Structure 1
Amino acid sequence: MRRAIRLSTFVCLFSFCYTLAFTQTGTITGSVKNSETGEAINAASVIVAGSVSGTYTNTAGSFSIRVSSLPVKLIVSSVGFATQELTVNSYDPVTVSLVLGTALGQEVVVSASRTAERLIESPVTIERVSAAAIKNTPAASYYDIISKLKGVDVVNASLTFTSPTTRGFGGSGNTRFNQQVDGIDNQAPALNFSVGSVVGLSELDVESMELLPGASSALYGSGGMNGTLLVNSKNPFNYTGLSFQAKTGVMNLDNKWRSASPYYNLSLRWAQKVSEKFAYKITSEYIHAKDWLARDYRNYGRVGTNGAIKDGTRETDPNYDGVNVYGDETTINLRSLVLNAIGSQVPFWQSYINQLPGNIPVSRTGYTEDELADPNTINYKLAGALHYKITPRVEAILMGQFGTGNTIYTGSDRYSLKDLKIAQYKFELRSDNWFARAYTTQENAGESHNLTATARQFNELWKPSTQWYQEYGFAYLNAKMAGMNDLDAHNQARTVADVGRPEAGSAEFQRMWDSVRLKPIYKNGGLFLDKSDLYVAEGQYNFSSLLNHVVDVLVGGNWRQFVLNSEKTLFHEVNGPIKINELGAYMQVGKEIIKDRLKLTASGRYDKNEYFKGKFTPRITAVIQPAKDHNIRLSYQTAYRFPSTQQQWIDLTVGSGTLIGGNRVIWESYDLINNPGYSAPEFIANPANRIPVTYKEIKPESVASYELGYKALIQNKVLLDAYVYTGQYENFIGRRDVVQFYDQSDPTKYRGISVVVNSDVKVKTFGWGMSIDWRLPSNFAVNGNISSDEIKDVPDNFRASFNSPKYRALLGLSNSGFGPKDLFGFNVSWRWQDKIDFEGDFASGRINPTHIVDAALMYRLPAIKSQLKLGANNLLNQYYINAIGNPSIGGLYYLAFTYNLQ
């Protein structure tokens, strides 16, 4: 019944918007040409200023666009030409002549205020990546271009798993950073990572990317704490024909852990404009490579789900726990649990045992990641869309995209995502002043499994820990009493206990490994059975034209439902799948107070999650233009996020501890209400010093941010951008590791649990950034940026996971055309970032500074509308990591051929 009411409300709202839309008429027609040659310009963008209404020219350079009233201002742009603005006062055909030259700062963006405006006039900091920039980037994946933008941090869990963030709090699954592809929320509903690099657009179909650093919830909802990335695809009415791209290369060079291996990336796009009313497109992409290897074998000291790097190796520490070694998380106190029992069985050994230390920690022998995980990364994407113009002003879009493959992900553990499948489907109606869409994300974990859980249960299947430690204990005592020193005795004992241990890669090993990884976690295996879904309906209407742009008014709203279904392998599902409903609405009002000098905009959004109180997030911005092409921006922005689906409902044993969500029923199931955990490991041995962590209802997290920015275009050659910001987080959501004792009188009987909590104090962040883009003669260009982010007032024993370097910088040099007929081009960049004290659920530790050089050489083949590119990511092959426990990333060298560049 509730769903029927929601659906009826949505249909009524849409019908109202649709009726309003058809009360407005008028079509502007015209053509766009090259001012020097008079040739028609294909795929030139024509946008109505102050709205999302726009179109592209056809192969003859002609366009037509529906408008509600006159006069209107049109913004016309094309790659390689200076953007032109013109005011249209009648419906007579117009001719626009574009001048060759820079488009610095003139690119049209939509994301900053959900209406079209020039980049230089944006009221908040924004970065834009065009299709032209993607064509000329050295990056093998367009997703990696984001790492070159100022203030951006990127975490690579594997070759095809890139997670960006801005202004701190980076990680493989970043719930403080929104990503949308053609309006679709790109976050997996259960696994909480962005699926953009798994099921998103292929490079051939990306029209542009827009990045909003910082708070953006006022327009984009929960999760926009630290930024929003919008990826836009190419419309088949405007970009037609066959395009394909083939990349082949080599990676894992000079790597003693993994031999050199090929890299393949094939993609195709076919778009056809069947008539003035109907167009369609089909895209696909296939990636195959041997992935980077996670090979951090440093010793890790765990307490619950927390820990730190410590000295020692398997040969020097009996309790060794390698970061990227799995199965060695199983550990016991050999003295209390084994040796004392042996002493009671063999009385004449008891006096000797009594002389040994009271705590002798020993871990089981583990396996490295290259012994357990499938090294072959495979990613296959298939997508299609049907576009139908119901009227010249109303376009219907039905699209679907599907992705599957194998990769590795870092969350609370390392996960082998095997045969992962994600599908997204959308139906949308769009006009110049409104849109209405409904979409769903369908998640299927396939044979994905937790490497740590699988390895630990594998050891139990091969030889139960009760037997393994018993054999270890007898061998250890025999070696000690034979005169061996303690370390040699431990190594001798391990050799004895490991007799018969299956060798990685053997037929016996594979048979046993498969039997465990294909068994659900709650049945002592490692398999996820996740089949969670997300359903969304949303709409927006721009009333500005109805008000003759005296004031600009925008309203919108959405409904979301998460359906969590992991069959108890990830979530605390007592009575079947868990449903979470959210409702939201927003409004924006803008007014140009002083013409071409001052514009003010105010936005507000209200959201309600059924498990939490509603949140209101306002935003106020001002753009001041003291002189032409010089803009000062001021903003007060707020953002929030409801706890993620995992932070609400996760119930998962990892490493040597358990992750649980903040819902009270989960705390009750672990008896944490009556028998609370204690917050610090130093309290374990002394009951008098134990401080309990009692249950408190988790609250939504919010941030209030102030920003001052300046953007200037100097002589159409130099674009400067700078900002400084400060943010204050309230009810900051993080994890706290607690120790729960089974027996309050016995400090050896406890378990580690990681609980979700709010910070009692306000956490503060602050930072700044600046960039320059300088166009030089002969098609040369120089670009550079530097930025900084910091955090303070983080409570003790609270894991904030800020994970941002204090400083990062980039310097680049490029040329878009040199040599005979300007057919050659190149792009080279150097990136540097400072050290990071990385905190994660999987592992924490220091990451050293990195220096990365990327380069590419391009050659255009205009006769066949093609390009050759010779590229190198990490040209100097300096292996580095950007998160503890993640793979070491080396050089990737490739040759790409692209046909029909658009």
Structure 2
Amino acid sequence: MMRKTLCALILMMSSAALIAQTSITGTVTDEQSGQPIPGANIKVLGKALGTSADFDGNFILEVSENPPFTLEISIIGYSSTTVDITNNNQVVNVSLTETATSLDEVVISASRTPERIMESPVTIERMDVREIKNTSSPTFYDGLENLKGVDINTNSLTNKVVNTRGFATFANTRFMQLVDGMDNSSPALNFALGNLLGMSELDVKTVEILPGAASALYGANAFNGMLFMTSKNPFDSQGFSMYGKTGLTSSEDAGDNRFVDVGFRGAFAFSEKFAAKASFSFLKGTEWYATDYNEYIDNGAGNPDTVKPIDATQTSFNALNVYGDEVSLGALGLDLNQFAQLMEQGGLIPAGSSSLIPAANVSRTGYKEVDLSDYDAQSVKADISLNFRPFANDFEIILNSKFGKGNTIYQGANRYNIKNFFMQQHKIEVKNDNFFVRAYMTAEDAGDSYDMRFAGINLNKVDAQTWFGTYVGGYLQAVLGGASNDAAHSLARQNADATVTLQPGTPEFDAAVEKVTTDPDLVTGSKFVDETKLYHIDANYNLAHLIDWADIQVGGSWRQYSLNSSGTIFTDYDGPINYDEYGAYTQLQKKFADDRLKFTGSIRYDKAQNFDGNVSPRISFVYSAGAEKNHNIRASFQTGFRNPTTQDQYIGLDASEAILVGSAPDNLDRYTTVPLEVSTVGQSLGVPGQVTLSGRSAYENSFTLASVQAGNPTKSNFGYVQPEKVTAFEAGYRSVIEGVTVDFSAYYNKYEDFIGNKTVLVPYYGQTDFSDFDPNSMPAPPAAIALSQGDYQPFQVYTNSAADISSYGAGIGLSTKIWSGYNVGVNYTYSKFDFDQSTDPDYEAGFNTPENKVKVSFGNPNVFENFGFNINARWNDEYLWESTFADALIEERTVIDAQVSYSLPKWKSTFKIGGANLGGKEYFSAPGNGKIGSQYFASWTINP
């Protein structure tokens, strides 16, 4: 019944288009070159009636309006024009003038209202359909890295993380990403999904990036930058388009691997009141292989870890991209000699032979990441939109659904194989030029995703006792045969690995991996479950049409998280955890002094369930100097804040190296450890043989890691995590000087209560303030004895740093045209981080950003008829990367991307060949990631 009703509705709306009374035909061309302008929008002024030009710039518009009326012809990058229609069958041939500079382009995100970039109160970067068409990168999302001040951290082939102004991680919770107004961050994992759930490049209208804080308009988490992707409206951009792309990824570790990337978009206006669109894209390739088999020795916060190659004579180790080598006798509270004594008592080795066994810690040989992952990179995206304009004007109702499914690699505290991850968003939006009301829901399903560290650990735990027993026997046999200690250890490991360890590539190994990666209990498995949902409503009203003395906007939002990991990530053992956030704001804009001075003032109040409210003001001035008002000077002050994430508050996860526990008041007692074995010395103090610890003990009865490492155990005193804040000052200048576009900005950010992790050690017994120590009856405080006996558990707590942290930087971009059509651009970004480590020795700020970056572009989309090219080069210097996974210096790098394109108007097609990182020098985006090689591609795009 529903299907019949929908078909009837579409037929009725389609019939309205067939009774058109007026037909207009024409062509849209570039005024300077005379070349057609595909995709130009042709619209009846003041009405929701229009069409778009085809690949040859031709159009046919049939409307029910009777002349006279006016057409508006426009496209991004050109000045719009109008034409009066006075009779039926009129032929309209229009030439559009290319916008003089990029500063004349219109943006919306900076003030939630249309304005030229020239007059924007803050720094803003932008990419539109022209840049997408000419990008030298394999995808438009990769091409964002060529913008000034923008960094992209490559988590994997299908997951790229955009960042601005420092403090970058792969879980970049300080950067917000909106797709058609919807936040497409994972509500449980807390990171923006890049373009894994984004939009097809065929459907992208504009991409805008706001570096810096924007909480005054966008609320919590609009802290260090925002990215806005806006899709094409089916009323304005109609027709069917498609693309196909293939090529190779090439690196020393992964070899040469083919990838394919295909997509289509169909959009049609069935009448002046109803339009619809659908887009789909599919990408499949092979991830960059992570093959760093060195050890990273923790040197403490603020210092890069010592990188040490594995020594063949070592008995225990913990290599970076090897998992399962964490399983050791030391983790069980034993050394090799003690284990041999137990074997001797059980009659498993000859009496007295344990005396030949040294007191060494021995760990199992782990499994390489390449053996625990198939490195299958995949992304499937679909987007469906139904658009209604019931009054045939700007009032519009939009029903939109987005779906994304894929495989990728994610690096956080551990490395995660995100497999068959599924995310969907559903939105209803009502809007016109003066307001919008938007409600959407985000739902995700982790699919078959798993933690690769725990996969290795639990594979090795299954037969650990047998492996260590075989190791002891092999060592004994070797030393009795005259081998040295080092040689005996080496032979013992070879023997144990060969006879006990599951061998990669065998059916037995594959079956064991399948069992572990489908088991959600981290004691025995590695799968994580996630069916978290997010509900969001926001609204905005612009009073400009009601008030003539200023532009005033008001708005607000409400959000609810529903955490549902079945206890595998959060402490939601008994059901979903729900909590809310809400906020409201207002903004006023007014021009003074012959419209040369524009003032913008905004203020927002936000409240989250577990925290006090935050007020975020912003004040900015833009002054347009010069006779043509083309020297624009701006200054702004604003504050921003970031609420602790879902994981900061509600995580309860044993990550092997440490237990992560969030600090929400209702989370502390809900998390408890598995039973922990107490040493014989501890039991002699009257402590039971097994104890459990709660999350509260990590915050209230623990030692700081730094004090224990320094030999002076000190009770930790970390408060529960609170929102972090930033106070931001920015100044800038935009102008066109003798044909050269100049865009300069400088900023200074001062942070308070910076959120981060602290590692603490919780003793199994005793008070860390030593209040239970009686020197008359005890040799030492019980908690100190616990440390000496290994009776303690590392936790990572979420808290705020009391240290003074600030960052500052500047950027300048220059662009111009030379030789009648060749585009030349260069930009430089300086970023600096100021943090006195001595004020908070345990804290890792994770600035993770090069101090100096230079980017250069050179190209021409029309060197001669239908032929174009583009080249981009990027350089940055060495910088320190800090994360919970590993710290290391990232080497400086130079990356060159290039493409050449050829258009075939007869086929409405554009062909492109290109490559990324053409120099071929491989580089790390972060320690632990796969080394990034080169990517070569060829594409065919068909546009109407």
- Scaled by the length of structure 2, the TM-score of the pair is 0.84
Contact map agreement 2:249 2:258 (CA 8 A) in 1: yes
Residues 416 and 673 from structure 1, CA distance in 2 versus in 1: closer, same or farther, beyond 3 angstroms?
closer
- Report the equivalent of 2:877: 834
What corresponds to 1:197 in structure 2?
Answer: 195
Deviations 1:323-361 (A, max 9, x none): 1111112234399444135347477457666xx56xx33
- Does 2:846 correspond to 1:811? no
Give the alignment partner of residue 701 of structure 2, picking from 669, 672, 676. 676
CA drift at 1:864: 2.4
2:185 — aligned with what?
Answer: 187
C-alpha separation between the residues in 1 aligned to 2:806 and 2:41?
Answer: 42
Shift, 1:739, TM fit: 1.8
In the alignment, the residues of structure 2 paired with residue 42 and residue 430 of structure 1 have an alpha-carbon distance, to the nearest angstrom, of: 28
- Aligned alpha-carbon RMSD (Å): 3.2
Equivalent residue number for residue 866 of structure 1: 909
1:179-202 CA-partner distances (Å, limit 9, x unpaired):
000000010100112124212101
The alignment partner of 1:631 has SS state of strand
What letter matches 1:739 in structure 2? Answer: L
2:807 matched to which residue of 1? 765
User: In the alignment, which residue of structure 2 is the partner of 1:558?
Assistant: 557
Compared CA separation, residues 46 and 551, structure 1 to 2 (3 A): farther
1:253-402 residue pairs with structure 2 within 5 A? Answer: 253=251, 255=252, 257-301=253-297, 308-313=305-310, 315-333=312-330, 336-343=334-341, 345=344, 348=352, 360-391=360-391, 392-402=393-403
d(CA) in 2 for partners of 1:595 and 1:490?
A: 84
Change over 3 Å in CA distance of 1:601–1:101 after alignment to 2: closer
Partner SS state of residue 137, structure 2: coil
1:865-895 CA distance string (max 9 Å, x none): 2100011011122111111111111111111
* AA of the residue aligned to 1:749: D
The secondary structure found in structure 2 opposite 1:709 is strand
C-alpha separation between the residues in 1 aligned to 2:481 and 2:238? Answer: 81
Q: Which moved more, 1:101-110 or 1:717-726?
A: 101-110
**Kept after mapping to 2: 8 A contact 1:872/1:892:** yes
Q: Quote the residue 2:6 is aligned against.
A: none
* Deviation of the 1:318 alpha carbon: 2.4
Gaps of at least 5 residues in structure 2 are 1-23, 64-70, 85-89, 346-350, 672-692, 766-782
Is 1:226 aligned to 2:224, yes or no? yes
> What's 2:87 paired with?
none
Q: Deviation per CA, 1:227-259, whole angstroms, max 9, x where unpaired? A: 000000011111111100000101125x2x323
The CA deviation at 1:596 is 3.0
SS state at 2:145 partner: helix
CA contact (8 A) 1:43 1:238 kept: no
Contact 2:648 2:721 in 1 (8 A): no
Counterpart secondary structure, 2:104: coil
The separation in 1 between residues aligned to 2:924 and 2:937, in whole angstroms, is 21
Which residue is 2:537 aligned to?
537
Distance 1:150 1:870, change over 3 A: same
Whether the 8 Å CA contact 2:49–2:272 is kept in 1: the answer is no
C-alpha spacing 1:310/1:33, structure 2 compared with 1 (3 Å): closer
1:131-142 alignment runs, 5 A limit: 131-142=129-140
Does residue 751 of the first structure (1) align with residue 793 of the second (2)?
A: yes
Q: Which amino acid aligns with 1:283?
A: S
Larger radius of gyration: 2
Q: Indicate if the aligned counterparts of 1:429 and 1:436 stay in contact, CA closer than 8 A.
A: yes
Letter of the aligned partner of 1:781 in structure 2?
Answer: N
**Partners of 2:211 and 2:694 in 1: CA distance:** 41
SS in 2 for 1:203: coil
- Which residue number corresponds to residue 407 of structure 1? 408
What is the deviation of 1:583? 0.7
Q: Tell me the distance in 2 between the aligned counterparts of 1:150 and 1:325.
A: 37
- For residue 167 of structure 1, report the CA deviation from its aligned partner: 0.6
Aligned: 1:853 with 2:896:
yes
Does 2:827 match 1:779? no
Cα drift, residue 54 of structure 1:
10
Q: 3-state DSSP class of the match of 2:174?
A: coil
Distance in 1 (alpha carbons) for counterparts of 2:161 and 2:666 = 32
C-alpha distance in 2, partners of 1:417/1:504? 21
Q: How far is the alpha carbon of 1:566 from its aligned partner?
A: 0.2
Distance 1:99 1:197, change over 3 A: closer
Tell me the distance in 2 between the aligned counterparts of 1:610 and 1:48.
48
Other-structure match for 1:19: none
Matched AA of 1:153: D
Q: Deviations over 1:189-229 (max 9, x none)?
A: 00112124212101100001000000111111111111000
**1:413-439, CA deviations, whole angstroms, 9 ceiling, x for partnerless residues?**
111111111111111111010001110
> What is the alpha-carbon distance in structure 2 between the residues aligned to residue 64 and residue 321 of structure 1?
70
Matches of 1:431 and 1:53 in 2, distance apart? 12
Query: Which position in structure 1 is the counterpart of 2:422?
Result: 421
Counterpart of 1:847 in structure 2: which amino acid? I
The offset of 1:497, in angstroms, is 2.5
The 5 Å alignment of 1:648-667 reads 648-667=649-668
Quote the offset at 1:62 in angstroms. Answer: 10
**Mean Cα deviation higher: 623-632 or 361-370:** 361-370
What secondary structure is seen at the aligned counterpart in 1 of 2:202? helix
Write the distance in 1 (CA, Å) between the matches of 2:205 and 2:834.
39
- Show structure 1 runs of 5+ residues with no match: 1-28, 66-73
C-alpha separation between the residues in 2 aligned to 1:100 and 1:303? 56
Over 3 Å counting, the alpha-carbon distance change for 1:655 and 1:470 in structure 2 is same
Aligned partner of 1:792 in structure 2 is 834
CA distance in 1, matches of 2:616, 2:169: 25
The structure-2 alpha-carbon separation of the partners of 1:217 and 1:46, relative to structure 1 and needing over 3 Å to count, comes to farther
State the one-letter code of the partner of 2:471: Y
Change (3 A) 1:749 1:312: farther
Shift, 1:520, TM fit: 0.3
1:837 CA drift (Å):
1.0
Shift of 1:389: 0.2
Q: What displacement does 1:58 show?
A: 4.3
Residues 389 and 364 (structure 1 numbering): CA distance in 2 closer, same or farther, change over 3 Å? same
For residues 477-536 of structure 1, the C-alpha deviation after alignment (integer angstroms, 9 at most, x for no partner) is 554565533432322221232223121121110001101100003452111111000111
SS of the residue corresponding to residue 105 of structure 1 reads helix
Structure 2: distance between partners of 1:285 and 1:491: 51
Tell me, in whole angstroms, the C-alpha distance in 1 between the residues paired with 2:746 and 2:145.
20
Contact in 2 for aligned 1:279/1:386 (Cα 8 Å) = yes
| Matching residue's letter, 2:755 | I
TM-score with structure 1 setting the length? 0.88
Distance 2:255 2:29 in 1: 52
Residue 308 of structure 1 and its aligned partner are, at CA, apart by: 2.5
Structure 2 CA distance for partners of 1:330 and 1:666, relative to 1, 3 Å: farther
User: For 1:410 and 1:471, how far apart are their aligned partners in 2?
Assistant: 34
- State the Cα distance separating 1:467 from its structure 2 match: 3.5
Bigger mean CA deviation after superposition, 154-163 or 770-779: 770-779
The aligned runs of 1:511-526 (5 Å cut-off) are: 511-522=511-522, 524-526=524-526
Give the residue type in structure 2 aligned to 1:273: A
Distance, in Å, in 2 between the alignment partners of 1:263 and 1:671 is 47
What is the CA deviation profile of residues 297-317 of structure 1, one whole-angstrom value per residue up to 9, with x for unaligned ones? 221236999992432315243
- Alpha-carbon contact 2:445-2:531 (below 8 Å) kept: yes
Alignment check: 8 A CA contact 1:413 1:655 kept: no
Per-residue CA deviation, residues 129-159 of structure 1 (Å, 9 max, x unaligned), is 0111001101111111121112222111110
Mean Cα displacement is larger for which, 192-201 or 723-732? Answer: 192-201
